[in-house]
Amino acid sequence: MADGPTINTIAERAGVSIASVSRVLNGLPTRQETERKVMAAADELGYVRNAVARSLKSRRTHQVAFAMADVGNPAYLAMLRQIQPVLKAAGYRLVLHSTDAVAADEIDVLHSLGERYVDGLIMSPLRVTETHLEMLAAARAPVVIIGSVPEGTRVDNVRADSHTGVRLAIDHLHTLGRRRIAMINGPVDTVPGAARGAAYREALGDLGLRHDEALVRIGDFYRPDGARAVADLLERVPDVDALMCANDLIALGALDVLRAAGRRVPEDVAVVGMDDTDLAAASWPSLTSVSLGSAERGKAAAELLLERLQGGGGEPRVVTVPPRLVVRASTAGFEAAGPEYVHHHREEGGK
């Protein structure tokens, strides 16, 4: 198409040199602002790039993968809503993987980086095995992990401080006069399950409350598991007066069972979730929840990865997003909480 847009016309429209246009269209490193101008001009002029030829020549695909445990979990959707625009603005497409927290699937995603089907990866694994660590050390493309990894792991890492988050929730329940505080957790062989279970035990001890195994239930991070765990708890420990749930989905299952059992929330049993997803504000009663900054973590991970993709070097970085407790009707009652208010607490060290 002789009359179609060319590198020259794109350079004129973008206000950059022909060499800059060539670098961008061939996937070679260049300044983010220059890349943005060139891509915008190319789109405006209807320039169709030969992505296959560009990928073969430069070994860049302009694709980035995001691997998460459950694409239906609102916490991951909040991350996704922040990851995509950051990468899209830099000219990258996003490929999604829902691994169901199966380690073999996550290992396969890491292994496939050697095939260069994407230029980089953001991964949020629930479990971090020795094989994960080996694959991360040998990764053929930049990787950012959302979630905690062992100290010394040489990978960019964005983590939540769920330890402090649980403490904020337990302190809140204790201040309300609750003393039979149960913990409804996910699998303790996962990173979040282990951290939240340990934080629960520590918080009770610091408040002078005895840790009672009868008040602990272990299931999975899904609504039906929360419902089953709370049904069993109410049958065995009828005097429980508060539930610390390891995520919002578990807490929603708990609300289902409490409602069916005729237990008033929060008068009889106060309930706290974690993640502060969209479901927390929309539930009935509205759910007090610990925000772990899912959106902030997604944005930070995308920015870290983008910096690596654009040639940034240096030591691996760790970003910790502080938690905050959002108090709603499930603990404070309808009159006290109103629709919603954020309860700010002191910040403590991340774990």
Is 349 inside any structural domain?
A: no
Encode pLDDT of 190-241 as tens digits.
999 999 999 999 999 999 999 999 999 999 999 999 999 999 999 999 999 9
| Whether residue 245 is found in the same domain as residue 170 | yes
C-alpha–C-alpha distance, residues 21 and 7, integer Å = 6
pLDDT of residue 23 exceeding 50, the answer is yes
Q: Is 244 a member of any domain?
A: yes
Q: Please report whether residue 351 resides in a domain.
A: no
Residue with tokens 């913990």: 183
Contact in structure between 345 and 322 (CB atoms under 8 Å): no
Other CB atoms within a 10 A radius of the CB of residue 137 amount to 10
β-pairing, 324-327 vs 288-291, is antiparallel
Tens of pLDDT, residue by residue over 236-260, are 999 999 999 999 999 999 999 999 9
Domain that holds residue 237: 162-292+324-343
Q: 279 and 192 share a domain?
A: yes
**207 lies in the same domain as 177:** yes
DSSP 101: T
Q: Are residues 146 and 190 in the same domain?
A: no
Q: Report d(CA 276, CA 73) in Å as an integer.
A: 12
CATH code for position 264: 3.40.50.2300
Q: Taking the CB of residue 164, how many other CB atoms lie within 10 A of it?
A: 24
Would you say residue 350 lies in a domain? no
Residue 145 domain flag: yes
Asked if 334 contacts 285 with a C-beta cutoff of 8 angstroms, the reply is: yes
Residue-wise pLDDT for 68-83, tens only, equals: 999 889 999 999 999 9
Do 69 and 126 touch, CB atoms closer than 8 A? yes
Q: In the beta sheet, which residues pair with residue 98?
A: 68
pTM confidence score: 0.79
